[in-house]
Amino acid sequence: MFFFDSTIVLLIPVLILAFYAQNKVKGNYQKYRQYRNSANLTGAEVARMILDRNGLHDVAIQPVKGELTDHYDPRKKVVSLSQAIYSGASISSASIAAHEVGHAIQHAKNYLPLTIRSSIVPIANIGTQSAFPLFFIGLIFSLPQLMDIGIIFFAAAFLFHIVTLPVEYNASQRAMAELNQGIIYNDQEEKGVKAVLNAAALTYVAATLMALVNLIRLILIRGSRS
């Protein structure tokens, strides 16, 4: 079986990294949630300030339920911020709000990796949902062609992870540049912003490595059935 074959050892270091990244995100988020930003602006106010500064008056901001559920929807042109980020005036709130606005700026400027990511979302979703079932059916019933289709579908999902990396890192770079314009004022705040944003970026690295290792596992298992 896929989950218990010998290739599972390849997952161990990636699982450790993923666990570390998740804990780092939560730890830094909670730590810098305790410190107010010098501008004393809530996440919603930070987002609105940066959007207006970049001429994105048509992009809306709304609160959403959950923790760290923040995201930007390019179809609706809406920055959605979790309640603690939306109404909080912490360093964490400013950092995460600015990052999501970074995606809105990317969208407005037709940032190529974001355009590519948006275009392959439907394919990636199909790949994520269908790859393993197709591969398992092919494995169980000795249908190599079906296993190959499963691998191709998962490769599409992996491509989505690859394209996501520059999108997320670029959004964080934009966030830092914007925050340095009148929202954070000292080295300590800048250190906090970087800690929050870098921890979040590490989760995307871990997710990409996880997808890569699983793709390698599928190919190895397929090769063993040749």
Residues that are catalytic:
100
Q: How far is CA 135 from CA 2, 20, 33, in A?
A: 10, 30, 44
35 burial class (0-12, 13-18, 19+ CB within 10 angstroms)? Answer: middle
- Determine the Cα–Cα distance for residues 20 and 206; give it in Å rounded to an integer: 9
| 3-state class (DSSP) for residue 141 | coil
Are residues 201 and 22 in contact, defined by beta-carbon separation less than 8 angstroms?
no
Query: What distance lies between CA 76 and its chain's CA centroid?
Result: 19
